[in-house]
Amino acid sequence: MPGPVLIVGGGQAGVQLCMALRREKYQGAISLYCEEPEYPYHRPPLSKSYVTGATDDDKLPMRPESFYEKNAIDVYLNAPVTSVDIHRSEASVGGTAVGYSSLVLATGARPRRLDWQNDAPAGVFSLRDLSDARQIRAGLQNCKSLVVIGAGFIGLELAAAACAAGVQVTVFEMADRVMGRAVAPTISTFFEATHRAAGVDIRLGASVSGLEHSDGQVSGVQCADGTTLAADMVVVGIGVTPNVELAEQAGISCDNGILVDEHCRTEASSVFACGDCAAHRNRFAGGRSVRLESIQNATDQARTIAASIAGEPKPYTAVPWFWSDQGSHKLQMAGLAFDADSYIERGDREGGRFSIFHYRGDKLLAVDSVNESRDHMVARKLIEAAISPGQDQAGDPGFDLKSLI
Amino acid sequence: MPKITFVEADGTEIVVEARSGISLMENAIANNVDGIEAECGGSCMCATCHCYLADDQAGLSVMQDDEDEMLGFVASERKPGSRLSCQITVTDDMDGMQVHLPAEQN
């Protein structure tokens, strides 16, 4: 009988691992330990349709409770794992030692916080889990003016949703463009214009240095330029920190994430890590160690681990892809553009449907697509197969890129 | 409550009392139909909720460009009745519908 698998974390990676193990016909016991009081749920809607009430709670569960029962997966809610002893192959949950033959750390990440968030008045939020989203959703019902700090995916998704619901939204971004770490400047410019046209006040090169409040409730923000701005809600979206404490406590090496090999195995042979918390050498990033925060990465790394545990290991080689829905616009990214030295535009930017193809020399590294699912899907195939269209082909919308596959 | 039959690639039939007003994908997941993965949760991003419907199926919404484009890259063969189940809202007209599922979703 194969041994018990203990999974720490009920996010996308943890649930996908349960599914993949059973799909691989793994017969051993599977336990899923979740910190939150909820059965695992979809996170992507939390920064979009959920906060405005367009998506209800009953749409959020990733699988019905009967799924876990049917597949003999023991789910523990409100059950943080507090320590791991890799020599005894035991984890501690609420003071009880639980043995495992394979341990999977799918501990996720938590929002980075600003110094002044620690003693902030009511009305100041980060957005990561359902509890945050519920508070933001409730707050938005009576919110006239929202300040969003950080113009990354989460911040802009939330800004678009709140603006569409009639809230006055101001976004502060320290950098000189939106989503600066993730997309080409042309894409940043497009989304900046789009959000502004919808009525969002985007302030670039701007930051918030403190809060104004009355009666324990936030009433505005102090801007770094000395001005103040009224606000009855503030949401901070400035990125995340990987949850590596459990791995560190267990003596497993971490460096901006839990370090794993191509099978998502940590340096402890019975311990794996996947999803937002795991740092791996990615072949699409020139072999550098990266931590990818995406559904794709969580899903495919979980599958990689399931294959190893089920006895048929295969390395993690999936093409990274990401998406962000902002208002009515769909941004999709394939590949990793870290090493790009040039880019080519394809499509109709004026009409709001275009893609940016990132190259290093003649090699296609990544493609960012706006409202162009076809380019995105072709890009995933091209990058996976290491096929690089000529830059003249990429730039010519009349050329059928699919013909190269 | 329309009755919908999901037919897995191996021929297994799962008959469900479907809920109108939510997607076909959500109905499949709620009833533990294994042949639908729906990695992205219904955002029309992953093409892992592919299904085959009859061409003349009543009550179907018109396919949008997004769905059409994603269907060009499904893991199993695209056929004339191919749809992404996350893009189909179940209606009472669909009582008796058969939904065939492909062998591979990714």
Other CB atoms within 10 Å distance of the CB of residue A397 = 15
Kindly tell me the sign of the dihedral angle through the C-alpha atoms of B100, A22, A320, A276. Answer: positive
- pLDDT at position B106 is 85
Nearest CB partner across the interface for A59, out of B26, B32, B72: B26
Domains and CATH numbers, chain A: 5-110+242-309 (3.50.50.60), 113-236 (3.50.50.60), 328-404 (3.30.390.30)
Site of tokens 């599958």: A303
- pLDDT at position B59 is 85
- How many Å apart are CA B47 and CA B105, to the nearest integer? 7
Question: HEC states along A356-387?
Answer: EEEEECCEEEEEEEECCHHHHHHHHHHHHCCC
Average pLDDT of each block of 10 consecutive residues along chain A (405 residues)?
95 97 96 98 95 91 97 98 98 96 98 91 96 97 97 98 97 97 95 98 96 96 96 97 98 98 98 98 93 97 98 96 95 96 96 97 98 95 97 97 94
| A380 contacts B73? CB cut-off 8 A | yes
Tokens read off for A40: 């695992």
Nearest CB partner across the interface for B29, out of A63, A295, A377: A63
A314 touches chain B (CB under 8 A): no
Asked whether A344 and A359 are in contact (CB, 8 A), the reply is yes
Angle A381-A387-A390 (CA atoms, 0-180°, nearest 5)?
Answer: 120
B96 touches chain A (CB under 8 A): no
Nearest CA in chain B to A297: B39
Gap from A275 CA to chain B (nearest CA, Å) = 14
| B72 contacts A377? CB cut-off 8 A | yes
Contacts with B42 from chain A: Cβ below 8 Å: 42, 59
Other CB atoms within 10 Å distance of the CB of residue B7 = 18
Nearest CA in chain B to A375: B69
B72 touches chain A (CB under 8 A): yes
Asked whether A59 and A101 are in contact (CB, 8 A), the reply is no
| B32 contacts A64? CB cut-off 8 A | yes
Q: Which of B43, B64, B66, B84 to mutate to test the interface with A (most CBs of A within 10 A)?
A: B43
- pLDDT at position A287 is 85
Asked whether A16 and A108 are in contact (CB, 8 A), the reply is no
- How many Å apart are CA A43 and CA A299, to the nearest integer? 13
DSSP code of residue A28: S
Asked whether A158 and A143 are in contact (CB, 8 A), the reply is no
- How many Å apart are CA A10 and CA A35, to the nearest integer? 8
Contacts made by residues A118-123, CB under 8 angstroms, sequence distance 24+ = A120/A211, A120/A218, A120/A234, A121/A211, A121/A213, A121/A216, A121/A217, A121/A218, A122/A216, A122/A217, A122/A218, A123/A217, A123/A218, A123/A232, A123/A233, A123/A234
- pLDDT at position A272 is 98
- pLDDT at position A167 is 97
| B32 contacts A67? CB cut-off 8 A | yes
| B73 contacts A330? CB cut-off 8 A | no
- pLDDT at position A183 is 93
DSSP code of residue A331: E
Enumerate the domain spans of chain B: 3-100
- pLDDT at position B55 is 83
Gap from B65 CA to chain A (nearest CA, Å) = 9
Site of tokens 């330029």: A225
Nearest CB partner across the interface for B32, out of A16, A66, A299: A66
Closest-CA residue to A366 (of A357, A374, A375): A357
B30 touches chain A (CB under 8 A): yes
A265 touches chain B (CB under 8 A): no
- How many Å apart are CA A291 and CA A278, to the nearest integer? 6
Four-way CATH pick for B3-100: 3.90.190.10, 3.10.20.30, 3.40.50.150, 3.40.1190.20: 3.10.20.30
- pLDDT at position B57 is 87
A318: helix, coil or strand?
A: coil
Asked whether A122 and A233 are in contact (CB, 8 A), the reply is no
A353 touches chain B (CB under 8 A): no
A349 touches chain B (CB under 8 A): no
Asked whether A345 and A395 are in contact (CB, 8 A), the reply is yes
Strands A30-33 and A102-105: unpaired
Residue A110 corresponds to which amino acid?
A: R
Phi and psi of B43, rounded to 5°?
A: -95, 5
A33: helix, coil or strand?
A: strand
Looking at the predicted complex, does its ipTM rise above 0.90? yes
User: For chain B, which ranges sit under pLDDT 70?
Assistant: none
The CA–CA distances, whole Å, from A136 to A143, A159, A303 equal 10, 12, 33
Asked whether A26 and A50 are in contact (CB, 8 A), the reply is no
Asked whether A257 and A277 are in contact (CB, 8 A), the reply is yes
Contacts with A373 from chain B: Cβ below 8 Å: 44, 65-66, 69-70
Tokens read off for A229: 């701005």
A399: helix, coil or strand?
A: coil
